[in-house]
């Protein structure tokens, strides 16, 4: 029999809490290895990963092709800086541009850096191409957004935890209700250079806007000569059953903001993709990053783009997503208040009289399923796209068990 004081987890949790700033509140699970959709903790307990690194692990843990590519690249060349060109760079930019249907790509590392890149490019485009008076550019964003944690990005967050006590805030942003085209139209004026939106708001609880909203945003942006910046960092690259969440409504933005899954769960890779008329405004020295577009990142991310180019992951996400949403729909009224989402991505609201989202995640973890609460009683489910149908059924069964 295993008794608690023989377990490694409690000590490992204590050490992690002792030596780090408390900017996260993780579940008390200490993972030491993983493969596919499963992770194993330091005590040998296995869990089905239903978070997938907030979509950074769309292809599962240690996808064999991605790991082989990373090993091969580690043995040849890892970093050059952008002072020189390396042999993995052009293929990555070219193949990602093809996947996005754009002319150019600009690689960075984290999602927040992709967002910062988009903001800088949109402002410069506004001054140089649209003719906005110097220093006047405005960008319209949505209530409930999550675009990252830098000081500029949290300046237009509506989440007090993300924002309070971190001012003074960067000016130049207008916040409108998500899903409301009239409010968006009213917020746009001659100073507006861009509308920055998540096609589905992940952090907010996988909130899908009303049908027709995203095409309406596209039309407004075109009519008003405003750039549509689509933050597909969490929603993109297969998660929703299409390459991009915007594909479901046949919408093409002026710029895609990508991250998370682009790094194959191995390295941080982000990028923005747009045409020359937009990204062409940048000149040497105006933007960059030491690690952005490094050889290891490019090699892995090129392989990611090739996995996506087959369409297999998107199809899998659509098919298994239908199975997941049907099963979850059956729990509405049985402990769940609402289910939202698209593809292998679901935001579920637990009846708050039963338990908090945190408690639900703790109970799921005890039953071998990892998920994470977002706001209050909302949990996000985003298993890797390699998950098997029976594994999804297992996850839903554990959810049913903790709700009953
Ligand atoms: C939609 C969206 N944009 C941007 C980010 C920021 O990405 P990162 O944490 O890599 O900076 C996230 C992270 O969760 C996100 O979900």
Catalytic-role residue among 41, 49, 231, 254: 231
Same domain for 322 and 282: no
Structural domain contains residue 268: yes
Structural domain contains residue 270: yes
Structural domain contains residue 71: no
Residue 120 annotated as catalytic: no
Same domain for 333 and 283: no
pLDDT at 189 exceeding the cut of 70: yes
Q: How much distance in Å is there from the Cα of 112 to the middle of ligand 1?
A: 6
Specify whether the CB–CB gap between 289 and 59 falls below 8 A: no
Catalytic-role residue among 92, 146, 173, 291: 146
The pLDDT value given to residue 3: 57
pLDDT at 201 exceeding the cut of 80: yes
Q: pLDDT, tens digit, for every residue of 245-261? A: 999 999 999 999 999 99
Specify whether the CB–CB gap between 378 and 205 falls below 8 A: yes
pLDDT at 341 exceeding the cut of 60: yes
Ligand 1 atom nearest the C-alpha of 268 is 10
> Which 3 state secondary structure label does DSSP give 133?
coil
Structural domain contains residue 389: yes
Total of domains in the chain = 2
Structural domain contains residue 135: yes
Choosing from 274, 309, 344, the residue where a domain stops is: 309
Specify whether the CB–CB gap between 64 and 237 falls below 8 A: no
Q: Residues for the chain: how many in total?
A: 404
Name residues contacting ligand 1 (CB within 6 A): 54, 110-112, 115, 146-148, 198, 202-203, 231, 233-234, 259
Q: How much distance in Å is there from the Cα of 255 to the middle of ligand 1?
A: 16
CA gap 209, 404 in Å, rounded: 31
Residue nearest atom 7 of ligand 1, based on CA coordinates: 111
pLDDT band at 2 (very low <50, low <70, confident <90, very high): low
Q: CATH number of the domain that 272 lies in?
A: 3.40.640.10
Same domain for 205 and 83: yes
Q: How much distance in Å is there from the Cα of 145 to the middle of ligand 1?
A: 10
**53 Cα distance to chain centroid:** 9
Choosing from 265, 286, 309, the residue where a domain stops is: 309
Q: CATH number of the domain that 399 lies in?
A: 3.90.1150.10
Residue 231 annotated as catalytic: yes
Q: pLDDT, tens digit, for every residue of 66-106? A: 999 999 999 999 999 999 999 999 999 999 999 999 999 99
Structural domain contains residue 70: no
Same domain for 317 and 303: no
| Residue 159 lies in domain | 77-309
Q: How much distance in Å is there from the Cα of 3 to the middle of ligand 1?
A: 40
Q: pLDDT, tens digit, for every residue of 356-384? A: 999 999 999 999 999 999 988 999 999 99
Sequence-ordered list of residues with C-beta below 8 angstroms from that of 345, at least 6 positions apart, any chain = 55, 200, 202, 206, 235, 239, 240, 321, 380, 381, 382
The pLDDT value given to residue 146: 98
Same domain for 343 and 260: no
Pocket test of ligand 1: the residue of 23, 58, 111, 245 to mutate, having most ligand atoms within 8 Å of its CB, is: 111
Same domain for 94 and 15: no
Q: How much distance in Å is there from the Cα of 5 to the middle of ligand 1?
A: 38
Structural domain contains residue 56: yes
Same domain for 203 and 106: yes
Pocket test of ligand 1: the residue of 107, 115, 148 to mutate, having most ligand atoms within 8 Å of its CB, is: 148
Pocket test of ligand 1: the residue of 54, 108, 112 to mutate, having most ligand atoms within 8 Å of its CB, is: 112
> Which 3 state secondary structure label does DSSP give 108?
strand
C-alpha distances (whole Å) from 81 to each of 138, 225, 291 are 33, 35, 6
Residue 159 annotated as catalytic: no
Same domain for 324 and 228: no
Same domain for 389 and 298: no
Q: How much distance in Å is there from the Cα of 4 to the middle of ligand 1?
A: 37
Spatial strand order in the sheet of 227-231: 104-108, 270-274, 255-258, 227-231, 192-197, 138-142, 173-176
The pLDDT value given to residue 382: 98
Q: pLDDT, tens digit, for every residue of 49-76? A: 999 999 999 999 999 999 999 999 999 9
Same domain for 333 and 231: no
Choosing from 286, 309, 332, the residue where a domain stops is: 309
Specify whether the CB–CB gap between 193 and 328 falls below 8 A: no
The pLDDT value given to residue 353: 96
Q: pLDDT, tens digit, for every residue of 308-334? A: 999 999 999 999 999 999 999 999 999
Q: pLDDT, tens digit, for every residue of 110-153? A: 999 999 999 999 999 999 999 999 999 999 999 999 999 999 99
What average pLDDT score do residues 237-244 get? 98
Residue nearest atom 8 of ligand 1, based on CA coordinates: 111
Percent residues over pLDDT 70 in the chain = 99
pLDDT at 1 exceeding the cut of 70: no
Catalytic-role residue among 59, 124, 156, 260: 260
Same domain for 239 and 117: yes
* CB-side neighbour CA atoms (13 Å) of 182: 0
Q: How much distance in Å is there from the Cα of 234 to the middle of ligand 1?
A: 7
- For the question of whether the overall pTM of this predicted structure is more than 0.85, the answer is yes
Same domain for 112 and 211: yes
The pLDDT value given to residue 375: 85
Specify whether the CB–CB gap between 186 and 177 falls below 8 A: no
Ligand 1 atom nearest the C-alpha of 235 is 1
User: Residue 285: what are its φ and ψ, rounded to 5°?
Assistant: 95, -15
Residue nearest atom 13 of ligand 1, based on CA coordinates: 148
The pLDDT value given to residue 4: 62
Residue nearest atom 10 of ligand 1, based on CA coordinates: 111
Element (H, E) at 230: strand 227-231
What average pLDDT score do residues 228-256 get? 98
Structural domain contains residue 131: yes
């Amino acid at each position: 029999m295993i008794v608690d004081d023989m377990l490694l987890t409690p000590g490992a949790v204590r050490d992690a809490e002792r030596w780090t700033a408390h900017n996260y509140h993780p579940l008390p699970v200490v993972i030491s290895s993983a493969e596919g959709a499963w992770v194993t903790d330091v005590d040998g307990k296995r869990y089905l990963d239903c978070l997938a690194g907030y979509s950074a692990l769309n292809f599962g843990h240690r996808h064999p092709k991605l790991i082989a590519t990373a090993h091969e690249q580690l043995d040849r060349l890892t970093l050059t800086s952008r002072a020189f060109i390396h042999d993995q760079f052009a293929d990555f930019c070219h193949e990602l541009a093809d996947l996005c249907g754009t002319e150019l790509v600009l690689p960075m590392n984290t999602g927040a850096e992709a967002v910062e890149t988009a903001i800088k490019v949109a402002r410069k485009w506004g001054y140089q191409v649209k003719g906005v008076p110097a220093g006047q550019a405005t960008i319209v964003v949505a209530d409930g957004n999550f675009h990252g944690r830098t000081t500029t990005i949290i300046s237009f967050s509506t989440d007090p935890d993300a924002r309070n006590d971190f001012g003074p805030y960067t000016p130049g942003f207008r916040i409108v209700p998500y899903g409301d085209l009239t409010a968006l139209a009213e917020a746009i004026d001659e100073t507006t250079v861009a509308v920055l939106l998540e096609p589905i708001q992940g952090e907010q609880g996988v909130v899908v806007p009303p049908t027709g909203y995203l095409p309406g945003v596209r039309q407004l942006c075109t009519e008003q000569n405003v750039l549509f910046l689509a933050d597909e960092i969490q929603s993109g690259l297969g998660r929703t059953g299409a390459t991009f969440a915007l594909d479901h409504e046949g919408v093409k933005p002026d710029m895609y903001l990508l991250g998370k899954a682009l790094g194959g769960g191995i390295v941080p890779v982000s990028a923005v993709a747009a045409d020359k008329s937009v990204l062409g405004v940048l000149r040497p020295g105006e933007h960059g990053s030491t690690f952005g577009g490094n050889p290891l990142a490019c090699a892995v991310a090129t392989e990611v783009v090739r996995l996506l180019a087959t369409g297999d992951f998107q199809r899998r996400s659509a098919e298994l997503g239908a199975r997941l949403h049907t099963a979850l729909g059956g729990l509405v009224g049985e402990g769940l208040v609402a289910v939202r989402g698209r593809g292998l991505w679901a935001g579920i609201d637990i009846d708050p009289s039963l338990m908090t989202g945190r408690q639900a995640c703790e109970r799921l973890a005890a039953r071998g399923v990892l998920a994470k609460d977002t706001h209050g009683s909302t949990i996000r489910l985003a298993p890797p796209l390699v998950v098997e149908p029976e594994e999804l059924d297992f996850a839903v069964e554990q959810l049913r068990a903790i709700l009953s």
